[in-house]
Amino acid sequence: MQKDALGRLTIDTKALRSNYRLLQDKVGATVRVSAVVKANAYGLGAVHIAKYLKEEGCVDFFVANWQEGQKLRAAHPDINIMVLNGFYPDVGEIYLNDTLIPVLDSRDEITSYGAFARKVGRQLPAMIHCNTGMNRLGMDMPLVHEIAGDPAMMAGIDLICVMSHLACADEKDHPLNEHQRAAFAEIAALFPNVPKALANSSGIFLGSDYHHDMVRPGMALYGLNPVPYADKNPMAPVITLDLPVICKRSTPSGAAIGYGAAHIFAQETCVATLSGGYADGIFRSLSNKGALYWRGVRCPIIGRISMDMLSVDLSAVPNEQRPEIGDRLELIGPHQSAADIGDLIEGSFDYEVLTSLSPRYERIYTH
């Protein structure tokens, strides 16, 4: 087989669509299911992901910043794009021209966005983010009450949704969930004619009291597990990632491999070197700890992972069945999930594994 220098990230769009439909069924037809596509749709490719979700009826997409919104708008003129990090007045014309909807989270943002709206002579759409306990972004309760009681504060602004964000929804019994639900219910009562949004991926599974008018899944769409406390992940796996063999050799007993001679061979060993390293989002901390799979057989990573390469021990694979140059080993797939990899890395988890996926990987969208 011919040598291939690129890792290959395969995105199963049927599984993506299935996950969207599952979430829509979970919340019911009266609740809008949006899609969080920030960080390039968690590494899967926001422009492509939006295309497939649009075909399932999704019209609301959340990005982190205006740069992401501008790129998405260029490909999709017919969707709603909300910017979670709010409004930046020095690029107000970009919000205007690309119809980007800011999620406002402070008095200053309300003031600057309202002033910009009046300057251009238009009523401009916005959401507001209320802090119910996450304590990152969001308006605290006194300001929320002030806005509700003084419509003049929102002059020039068309308030299209009130939202908050759950901090511990992946822990179903965490007391902060109920605290945030109750706090948001109080906020919702202040804005009776405005749509509300509270639930993220995991929040959808906390029950209908968290659903309101719109839910904002991200990770669940991409196959990550929104209910880690349950016996089974309800979402279909969306991605596989495999790396090509670019070199294969028999390494003698006593020899070392890689930087720092971090692995010494106790016996003669068949080794495959693969194209993919920490520049591709394969954490260096997986050195001498992680593994890839060849036809279901675990092949341990040996030595240090370098910028563009890593090596695996093929000893567990029968000699006549070992991969050749150009064959591909599975890093993420049926034998190892992003969550499995995250569990091997202290302080990491599946979100980080997914969002670290390199732009160097060839991305293939299967239908």
Judged against a pLDDT cut of 70, whether residue 31 lies above it is answered with yes
Closest CA to 33 of 23, 42, 41: 23
Q: How far is the C-alpha of 152 from the C-alpha of 170, rounded, in Å?
A: 38
Q: How far is the C-alpha of 275 from the C-alpha of 287, rounded, in Å?
A: 15
Contacts for 142 with CB less than 8 Å, ≥ 6 apart = none
Catalytic residue among 26, 38, 42, 196: 38
pLDDT band, very low/low/confident/very high, at 5 (cuts 50, 70, 90) = confident
Identity of residue 80: N
Which residue is listed with tokens 């495999």?
Answer: 242
Q: Do domains 13-222 and 239-366 have the same CATH topology?
A: no
pLDDT digits (tens, 9 = 90+) for 289-326: 999 999 999 999 999 999 999 999 999 999 999 999 99
Judged against a pLDDT cut of 60, whether residue 1 lies above it is answered with no
pLDDT band, very low/low/confident/very high, at 255 (cuts 50, 70, 90) = very high
Q: Could you tell me which CATH number the domain at 13-222 has?
A: 3.20.20.10
pLDDT digits (tens, 9 = 90+) for 209-234: 999 999 999 999 999 999 999 999 99
38 catalytic? Reply is yes
Q: How far is the C-alpha of 82 from the C-alpha of 197, rounded, in Å?
A: 13
Contact 147, 162 (CB under 8 A): no
Q: How much is the pTM?
A: 0.95
pLDDT digits (tens, 9 = 90+) for 126-173: 999 999 999 999 999 999 999 999 999 999 999 999 999 999 999 999
Give the number of other CB atoms < 10 A from CB of residue 352.
Answer: 15
Confidence (pLDDT) at 238: 98
Q: How far is the C-alpha of 284 from the C-alpha of 292, rounded, in Å?
A: 14
Domain spans of the chain, in order of start:
13-222, 239-366
Identity of residue 277: G
Q: Could you tell me which CATH number the domain at 239-366 has?
A: 2.40.37.10
259 catalytic? Reply is yes
Contact 223, 239 (CB under 8 A): yes
Catalytic residue among 3, 14, 119, 259: 259
Q: How far is the C-alpha of 89 from the C-alpha of 69, rounded, in Å?
A: 15
Identity of residue 270: C
pLDDT band, very low/low/confident/very high, at 3 (cuts 50, 70, 90) = low
Judged against a pLDDT cut of 90, whether residue 65 lies above it is answered with yes
Identity of residue 258: G
Give the mean pLDDT of 57-65. 98
Percent of the chain with pLDDT over 90: 98
Q: How far is the C-alpha of 54 from the C-alpha of 58, rounded, in Å?
A: 5
Judged against a pLDDT cut of 60, whether residue 50 lies above it is answered with yes
> What token pair was written down for 132?
């119910």
pLDDT band, very low/low/confident/very high, at 174 (cuts 50, 70, 90) = very high
Confidence (pLDDT) at 324: 95
